[in-house]
Amino acid sequence: MAAVTELSFLLFALINNIHAQELIIIGQEGDSYTFKLPNNTNSCLISRSVGEEKLVLWNTSDLWSNSSSVPEHLKLRLDSDVDTSSYTILHLTHSDSGPYREECWTEGNVTHDNNFTITVCTTSRDRSYITARVGEPVDLPCEGAADNLDVQWLKQDSRYDYGTWNRVFGDNTTSVMDNVRGRYQMVTNTSALHVSNVTATDFTGYNCLVMNQQQCVSSHPVRLELHYEMIYRSVGETAVLPCTITDSTDEQPPRWRNLISTDLGQLNQTDPSVDQNYSLVFSSLMLNHSGRYSCEASGIEQYYLLAVCPKFGPPAVELFSEGEEVTLRCRDWRKGWDHDWFIKSKRTEGRIFSVESDQRMSRVSWYDNGSLVISNISVGDAGEYWCVVYDYDYQCVSTERTVLVWL
């Protein structure tokens, strides 16, 4: 059964350090594409390259004359609007794929010169969303690759132009972008895009094009987003929320917001404050500092959930032997709207991590009934575990602490 999908276009601009800007327009078969040429020009030529041959498709000064260069099969699918200098190819087919060029003249001088490629391709409506942290590696999946490893990866340059994309690879293995050379690699068996050291500029849109020789079979969009951090602290302690998404090209300083209450820039208070590194600093935490915070720079946002709880009492103690399964219970989980588990262990050098966001906790499961289950426990799991219960405004209403001790 044929599925009826909304036909749409993705505009990609691929820029590398060798070639001039190349625009790639990707649309589904049956869609249309409109060439928007500049006004006040004497004439424009639209040509297409077929191998080494340059085929002139039409000259806008004699578009509909008997001697027009427009191929007959294209005349039947061509629509124009002289008032807006726009020309549209209707009902695109795979045969329309290829490199195109626009050239316009005014009084004998070239006033417009544009190269681009039209690729007719089926675009997946299911976008993948992947999260990562700055400095960590990540793999972006190519969902449509399967056994077909002939793929092309594109990257959206959303920090400056939401319609501009960069070609990640000149071929299947070599990055063509100087600022990421060596950081991006193709995973051999899956065609996933491996980023070895994520930076702020990597948090954007990507697209994996599955190819059959020179024909695009399908395109699969992926969005890389910054993983939000959960931070636990007690009243009176300090907290520093770093803004790691800034770089030297940012024209405006980052903007911090409290997503629960108001813009931090409008608060007449010294705590929290923003230091010279654009980190949000709390020198003496209070209960009402709990909440969700966001650092925004160049269209990217970095999110934090800060839980500030009262000073905790003596912890419960759980003993375990290696290989056992241990269940920790959050007895007060019904008192609030939501709850999270945090851990402080020797392997994290005394730092406190959210159990959910700590990727090293692969043997840990947590449930809505407040229980935390650690399977095949080992000495590395020893440490202090906190269950933090929130109300609807993310204010801490309860905290419980359990210490796991290895026998």
pLDDT per residue as tens digits for the range 253-297: 888 988 766 555 444 455 788 888 889 999 989 888 888 898 888
- Residues 366, 372 contacting (CB under 8 angstroms): yes
For residue 401, the cross-strand partners are: 386
Tell me what pLDDT residue 164 has: 59
Mean pLDDT of 184-191: 86
Tell me what pLDDT residue 138 has: 92
Tell me what pLDDT residue 365 has: 81
Q: How confident is the model at residue 17 (pLDDT cuts 50, 70, 90)?
A: very low
Residue 169 CA to residue 177 CA, distance in Å, equals: 8
Residue 222 CA to residue 140 CA, distance in Å, equals: 7
Residue 404 CA to residue 387 CA, distance in Å, equals: 14
pTM across the whole model: 0.68
3-state SS assignment for residue 70: coil
Please list, in sequence order, all residues whose beta carbon lies within 8 angstroms of the beta carbon of residue 383, skipping any fewer than 6 positions away. 343, 344, 345, 346, 347, 348, 403, 404
CATH fold, domain 316-406, is Immunoglobulin-like (2.60.40)
3-state SS assignment for residue 398: strand
Task: Name the CATH superfamily housing domain 29-120.
Answer: Immunoglobulins (2.60.40.10)
Tell me what pLDDT residue 141 has: 92
CATH fold, domain 229-309, is Immunoglobulin-like (2.60.40)
| Peptide linkage before 272 cis (omega within 30 of 0) | yes
92 alpha carbon, distance to own chain's centre: 30
Tell me what pLDDT residue 281 has: 93
Q: Which residue is it, tokens 């290989």?
A: 323
CATH fold, domain 122-226, is Immunoglobulin-like (2.60.40)
Residue 347 CA to residue 336 CA, distance in Å, equals: 31
What strands, in cross-sheet order, belong to the sheet with 138-140? Answer: 138-140, 193-195, 184-186
Residues of the chain with CATH 2.60.40.10: 29-120, 122-226, 229-309, 316-406
Q: How many helices (H) and strands (E) does the chain have?
A: 1, 33
Residue 283 CA to residue 236 CA, distance in Å, equals: 8
Report the largest interatomic distance among the alpha carbons of the chain, rounded to a whole angstrom.
Answer: 93
Q: How confident is the model at residue 37 (pLDDT cuts 50, 70, 90)?
A: confident
Q: How confident is the model at residue 10 (pLDDT cuts 50, 70, 90)?
A: very low
